[in-house]
Amino acid sequence: MSGLEIERKFLVTNDSYKRSAYDSSRIRQGYICSSGGRTVRVRTRGTRAYLTIKGPSDAAGMSRYEFEKEITPEEAEQLFKLCEPGIIDKTRWLVRSGSHVFEVDEFYGDNAPLVMAEVELANEDEPFDKPDFIGREVTGDRRFYNSHLRQYPFCIWGATIER
């Protein structure tokens, strides 16, 4: 997959997403490079693996270029050795809401108890139905980018946010 990624991020207020989910998988990801708003990420998701390159976000933090290529799990394990310190560990739950799918990430380790939901859109003004577990929008707040959470985990600053 390659092209423009348009997404909005939200904090999650309760665990009803677990009952509504049609799928879930464990994700482990590391960053080979994360500077200047650009990232090169390696990820395992269940039994599959991916190499992803993302460009800097627009001013609103909603859109950015993304290139993703599936790689073998063995290649991913080798690439993890090149990653900057700090691995993101989370479970991703997939929840349908209207014509969209919300990806709800439940973080572990130093990023627990953070739970965020993302919805990908075809354009920035596209309407969507918010499930009942959706809370405050954090689109564009760089503290909630996975590349930031790797360096500055939620346990350090999470108590300061309004939910």
Q: What are 87-114's pLDDT values in tens digits?
A: 999 999 999 999 999 999 999 999 999 9
- Write out pLDDT tens, residues 6-53: 999 999 999 999 999 999 999 999 999 998 889 999 999 999 999 999
Tokens (6 digits) for 105: 């990430």
CB atoms within 10 A of CB 102: 25
The single residue of 17, 22, 31, 145 carrying the catalytic annotation is 31
Is 31 a catalytic site residue? yes
Residue 58's pLDDT is what? 83
Judge contact between 65 and 38, C-beta under 8 A: no
pTM, entire model: 0.91
CA atoms within 13 A on the CB side of 35: 4
- Write out pLDDT tens, residues 129-141: 999 999 999 999 9
